[in-house]
Chains A and B, each alone.
Chain A
Amino acid sequence: MNKNGTITMINGPVIRGKNMANFKMREMVMVGKKKLIGEVIILDGDVGTIQVYEETEGLTLGEDVLSTGKPLSVKLGPGMMGNIFDGIQRPLLEIDKMNKDFIPEGIGLISLDQEKEWEVEFCVGEGDSLTQGQIFAYVKETELIRHKLLVPPGKSGVVISLKADGKYNIEEVLVVLKDDGKEQELRMYHEWPVRVPRPSKLRKEIEKLLITGQRVLDIFFPLAKGGTSAIPGGFGTGKTMTQHQLAKWSDADIIIYIGCGERGNEMTEVLEDFPKLIDPKSNRPLMERTILIANTSNMPVAAREASIYTGITMAEYYRDMGYHVAIMADSTSRWAEALREISGRLEEMPAEEGYPAYLPSRIAEFYERAGYVEALSGEEGSVTIIGAVSPAGGDFSEPVTENTKRFVNVFLALDKELAYSRHYPAINWLDSYSGYIKVLERWYEENLAEDAVKLRNKMLELLFKENKLQEIVMLVGEDVLPDDQRLILEIAKIIKIGFLQQNAYNKDDTFVPLEKQYRMLKIIDYLYERCRSSLALSIPISQIKSQKINDELIKMKYTVPNDDLSKIDEIKEMIDNYYTELEKQYLV
Chain B
Amino acid sequence: MKKEYLKIDKVIGPLIEMSNVKDISFGEVVDIKSSDGAMKKGKVIKIDGDRVIIQVFESTSGLSTGNSSVTFTDEAFELSLSKDILGRVFDGLGRPADAGGELYTRKKYNINGRPINPVARKYPRDFIQTGISSIDALMTLIRGQKLPIFSGNGMTHNELAAQIVRQAKLGEGANEDFAIIFAAIGVKHDDADFFRKSFIESNAMDRVVMFINYADDPIAERINTPRCALTAAEYLAFEQDMQILVVMSDITSYCEALREVSSAKEEVPSRKGYPGYLYSDLASLYERAGMLKDKVGSITYLPILTMPNDDITHPIPDLTGYITEGQIVLGRELFQNNIYPPVNILPSLSRLMKDGIGEGYTRKDHPDLANQLFSCYSKVQEVRALAQIIGEDDLTETDKKYMKFGKAFEDNFISQGFEENRDIDETLDIGWEMLRILPKEELNRINPDMLDEYYYI
Contacts and interface: CB of A to CB of B under 8 A. Distances in A.
Contacts of B288: 298
Tell me which of A84, A95, A264, A271 has the highest count of chain B C-beta atoms within 10 A of its own C-beta. Answer: A264
Contacts of A298: 115-116, 280, 283-284, 287-288
A57 interface: yes
A344 B49 contact: no
Given A101-B238, A296-B115, A554-B444, A421 B268 contact: no
Contact of B116 (A264, A337, A353): A264
Interface in A418-433: 420-423
Given A102-B114, A340-B270, A392-B271, A421 B119 contact: no
A57 B26 contact: yes
A474 interface: yes
Interface in A507-532: none
B interface, how many residues as a size bin? Answer: 35 or more
Interface stretch (A59-67, A132-140, A212-220): A59-67
Given A92-B118, A101-B116, A236 B123 contact: no
- Give the interface centre of A354, A473, A551 by most chain B CB atoms within 10 Å: A354
B386 A265 contact: no
Interface in A245-269: 259, 261, 263-265, 267-269
A9 B313 contact: no
A268 B123 contact: yes
B269 interface: yes
A111 to B, nearest CB: 16
Given A268-B123, A421-B378, A476 B390 contact: yes
B140 to A, nearest CB: 14
B24 A271 contact: no
B378 to A, nearest CB: 3
Contacts of A96: 117, 119-120
B371 A422 contact: yes
B279 interface: yes
Contacts of A297: 279-280, 283-284, 287, 323
Contact of A421 (B114, B118, B374): B374
Cβ-closest 6 pairs across A and B: A297-B283, A421-B378, A57-B27, A393-B313, A235-B321, A298-B287
B385 interface: yes
Contact of B396 (A60, A84, A478, A554): A478
A44 interface: no
Contact of A394 (B23, B268, B276, B313): B313
A100 B378 CA distance: 46
Interface in B291-331: 292, 294-295, 313-315, 318, 321-323, 325-327
Contact of A60 (B24, B354, B367): B24
Interface in B69-113: 76, 110, 112-113
Contacts of A394: 313, 318
A294 interface: yes
A340 B280 CA distance: 12
B268 A422 contact: no
Interface in A295-327: 296-299, 301
A264 B367 contact: no
Chain A contact residues: over half helix, strand or loop, or mixed?
mixed
A11 B282 CA distance: 19
B347 interface: yes
B25 interface: yes
Contacts of B270: 340, 353-354
Given A236-B321, A393-B313, A551-B441, A58 B326 contact: no
A68 interface: no
Given A58-B76, A235-B322, A298-B284, A337 B121 contact: no
A16 B394 CA distance: 72
A58 B447 CA distance: 58
B245 interface: no
18 contacts: A10-B26, A10-B47, A10-B48, A11-B46, A96-B117, A235-B321, A236-B326, A264-B118, A265-B124, A268-B122, A271-B119, A296-B283, A297-B279, A297-B283, A301-B280, A341-B280, A393-B318, A474-B385
A296 B284 CA distance: 10
A474 B121 contact: no
Nearest to B27: A57
Contact of A263 (B76, B113, B287, B327): B287
A109 interface: no
A334 B279 contact: yes
B49 A296 contact: no
Contacts of B314: 393
Interface string A378-395: 000000000000101111
Interface of A: 8-11, 16, 55-62, 84, 92-93, 95-96, 99-104, 234-236, 259, 261, 263-265, 267-269, 271-272, 294, 296-299, 301, 334, 337, 340-341, 344, 350, 353-354, 390, 392-395, 420-423, 473-479, 497, 505, 547, 551, 554-555, 558-559
Nearest to B292: A101
Given A236-B349, A420-B378, A340 B276 contact: yes
**Which of B280, B288, B396 has the most CB atoms of chain A within a 10 A radius of its CB?**
B280
B401 to A, nearest CB: 15
B318 A100 contact: no
Contacts of A104: 114
Given A103-B115, A103-B117, A268-B121, 15 more contacts: A55-B114, A60-B26, A61-B22, A236-B349, A296-B283, A337-B279, A341-B277, A420-B347, A421-B346, A477-B390, A477-B396, A505-B354, A547-B441, A551-B444, A554-B444
Contacts of B119: 84, 92-93, 96, 267-268, 271
Contact of B49 (A8, A294, A421, A474): A8
Given A61-B24, A344-B268, A102 B277 contact: no
B276 A505 contact: no
Nearest to B449: A558
A102 B115 contact: yes
A77 B322 CA distance: 35
A411 B447 CA distance: 32
A102 B117 contact: yes
A543 to B, nearest CB: 17
A291 to B, nearest CB: 14
A115 B105 CA distance: 43
B118 A268 contact: yes
A392 B318 contact: yes
A540 to B, nearest CB: 16
Contacts of B389: 474-476
Contacts of A99: 117
B26 A102 contact: no
Contacts of A475: 389
Nearest to B319: A392
Chain A CB within 10 Å — which of B292, B322, B326, B352 has the most? B322
A24 to B, nearest CB: 24
B175 interface: no
Specify which of A259, A272, A558 lies most central, judged by the most chain B CB atoms within 10 Å of its CB: A272
B367 A354 contact: no
Interface in B104-149: 110, 112-124
A341 B346 contact: no
B380 to A, nearest CB: 10
A505 B314 CA distance: 32
Contact of A261 (B26, B280, B292, B295): B280
Contacts of A265: 118, 121, 123-124, 290, 325, 352
Contact of A505 (B284, B290, B367): B367
A453 to B, nearest CB: 29
A61 B444 contact: no
B386 A299 contact: no
A344 B277 CA distance: 10
B276 A555 contact: no
A267 B118 contact: yes
A271 B49 contact: no
A95 B46 contact: no
B173 interface: no
